[in-house]
Amino acid sequence: MEMTTRPTVLEIDAQAFKNNINEIKKFLPEGVKIMPVIKANGYGTYINTRLDILNDFDILAIATVDEGVYIRQLGYQKEIFVLNQPYKDEISKILENDLIVGISSDSFAKALGETGKEVKVHIEIGTGMGRTGINPKRAIEYLDSLSSNIKVEGVYTHLSSADSDDEYTKKQLESFEIAVKAIKEKISLKYIHSHASNAILNFGNTGSYNLVRPRSYNVWLSIRY
């Protein structure tokens, strides 16, 4: 039997997207920047191909190095941050495309240091999501272990339960703050971020620091159902 597919079309309203960004800003303290997460082709919306929209932001977040390379090839010249710590064999791409990377392992940091070339990073602090990030109590030890060519511009964490558990989220933020304060006593930080979409909505005025990470599909889906 011949199978057919439905002639389904995903229609995106770019102006509505921009309006929704302005609505997000209402949840944020003054001076907090928005770093949209546009991984997986903008969660299937392909916003990552729209430089006319992306250029409204000073920094973008993606999940993989190849996603960052693709956006560079399209012509985006501002900051691109790789949320997930990459693989060692991707370091050459990171350097060639001036990508900023999240780091939390000793071996990857050592490999970056061995290049001798300047690379910008954000240190990921593990506060309870349970997958990645260094222990907050180890923040200074980790910072001090980094080679001089590794430029720490930011520190961040992932809030695992901002949509369902206020108390746990508050504990995560408290734990993160311990690491942030310790690092700030040693170096200046360009970016400090912890809030993704749910945290922006539920904890927008609490610990949002100076950067937030709304997922692009959340912004699209808030347009209409």
Q: What's the Cα-to-Cα distance from 69 to each of 57, 89, 131, rounded to whole Å?
A: 17, 14, 25
pLDDT greater than 80 at residue 224: no
3-state SS, 144-186, equals: HHCCCCEEEEEEECCCCCCCCCHHHHHHHHHHHHHHHHHHHCC
How much is the pTM?
Answer: 0.90
| DSSP structure class, residue 80 | E
Residue 88: the pLDDT is: 97
Nearest-5° Cα angle at 102, 180 to 71 = 130
Domain chopping of the chain, boundaries: 30-221
Considering the domain 30-221 in this protein, what is its CATH number? 3.20.20.10
Read off the pLDDT of residues 69-97 as tens digits, 9 standing for 90 and up: 999 999 999 999 999 999 999 999 999 99
- Ordered strands of the 119-124 beta sheet: 33-34, 211-213, 191-196, 150-156, 119-124, 100-103, 79-82, 59-62
Hunting for tokens 């949840």 — which residue is that?
27
pLDDT greater than 70 at residue 146: yes
Read off the pLDDT of residues 101-131 as tens digits, 9 standing for 90 and up: 999 999 999 999 999 999 999 999 999 866 7
Return the half-sphere exposure (C-beta side, CA atoms, 13 A cut-off) of residue 53: 24
Read off the pLDDT of residues 18-71 as tens digits, 9 standing for 90 and up: 888 888 888 888 889 999 999 888 877 788 888 999 999 999 999 999 999 999
